[in-house]
Amino acid sequence: MKRTSFHRRYEAMRRAVDASLASVIGADGPRELLSACRYVLSGGGKRLRAILVLLSCEAVGGRFRQALEAATAVEILHNFTLVHDDIMDRAQTRRGRPTVHIRWDVNMGLLSGDILLGLAYRHLLRTRSSALPTLTDLFTTGVVEVCEGQALDMEFESRADVTVKEYFGMIEKKTGRLIALSTELGARIGGGSRAHIDALRRFGHYLGRAFQIQDDLLDVVADEATFGKAVGGDIIAGKRTFLLLRALERSQGKDRSTLRTLLKEGRRPGPHPKLVRSVTAIYHRYGVIEEAGKLVARNTRHALECLNALPSRKATEMLRWLSLLLVNRAA
């Protein structure tokens, strides 16, 4: 598949998802609440998870329109998690715009997130599939696990003894579960065989892990102009990333003291370029940036190997292209 063909098809799918999202919020209801929900859903983004639903459906022989309601549901669910995460993280901006709780207030942020969760279920239940009970159960499990992942992420903020193993358990719930849910939903809606469904579930699992580790990596190695925000945000926040936890395992002396102080002090308001440079140098010194890059490559390779179990279709090839683009992205 040529790059232009991939991008043309991807954009067509994204436009279909955007059009579906534009019709989610009706005219009846509290005006400010509806405005806040529209604001959230109009924020743009890659629509990655929704498109994974559509491509997975096509990869097993289905038509993407069969999965559009479920894809819309997954995208709404993703935005629900972002709204609540932003409130908990006290984030000021999202995709270059004020977060909903900043533009309105925290109460409106909470309510808009709650409404979005209900709307996600409404759209999922519109999916025409004999497997709807299974889809609903999968979706509900996904909601629970994503919330558990966020709870673990918050719990880690107050702990100085978080392990790399615990970190992987957290990202598999918070980030990976929604990606694996997307691919499995699409496969089931498309009528995939048990082997094909399992292959796409595992594909989503590995892709989700690679995606999150790449996010950790970009926070310290990205070009700020391309990244769209200052690098080192995770360092300044004392966030328990793979890089920080692995460096803590390996470091000694002054380097170890620097990282332990970072864990204890937590969030720091304002920019801290000296701290970011110091911690990044520690990461380089102990080889954790190189290791993270290898982990991204390894998990991407495992994800691509899962696709070998699928029929040779354009959608399968698009999943390959999409995987490589995601883990080689600069932002």
What whole-number distance in Å separates Cα of residue 61 and Cα of residue 57? 7
Q: How would DSSP label each residue in 238-249?
A: T---HHHHHHHH
Q: Which residues contact 195 (CB under 8 A, 6 or more apart)?
A: 309
- Residues in a beta bridge with 204: none
Closest by Cα among 39, 67, 43, 45 to 55: 67
- Determine the pLDDT at residue 163: 94
CA distance 250 to 270: 29
CB 116 within 8 A of CB 83: yes
pLDDT given for residue 44 in this prediction = 83
- What is the DSSP-derived secondary structure letter of residue 173? I
Cβ-based neighbours of 250, under 8 Å, separated by 6 or more: 286, 287, 288
pLDDT tens track, the chain, 331 positions: 677 888 899 999 999 999 999 999 988 889 999 999 999 999 888 899 999 999 999 999 999 999 999 999 999 999 999 999 899 888 888 888 899 999 999 999 999 999 999 999 999 999 999 999 999 999 999 999 999 999 999 899 888 889 999 999 999 999 899 999 999 999 999 999 999 999 999 999 999 999 999 989 998 887 665 555 567 888 888 889 999 999 999 999 999 999 998 888 766 666 688 888 999 999 999 999 999 999 999 999 999 999 999 999 999 999 999 998 887 765 5
Q: Which domain holds residue 175?
A: 3-327
CB 212 within 8 A of CB 178: no
C-alpha 86/C-alpha 99 separation (Å) is 7
Q: Which helix (H) or strand (E) holds 93?
A: strand 93-94
Three-state secondary structure call for residue 97: strand
pTM: 0.92
Where residue 272 sits, what CATH number does that domain have?
1.10.600.10
Most distant pair of Cα atoms in the chain: their distance: 62
> Within 13 A of 260's CA, how many CA atoms are on the CB side?
10
Residue among 52, 98, 44 at smallest CA distance from 71: 52
| Measured distance CA(309)–CA(113) in Å, rounded | 38
Structural domain tally of the chain?
Answer: 1
Confidence (pLDDT) at 266: 66
pLDDT at 95: 82
Distance CA 189, CA 127 (A): 8
Q: What is the pLDDT of residue 1?
A: 62
Rounded to 5 degrees, what are φ and ψ at 94?
Answer: -145, 120
Identify the pLDDT of residue 267.
62
Pick the closest to residue 182 from 319, 70, 44 (CA basis). 70
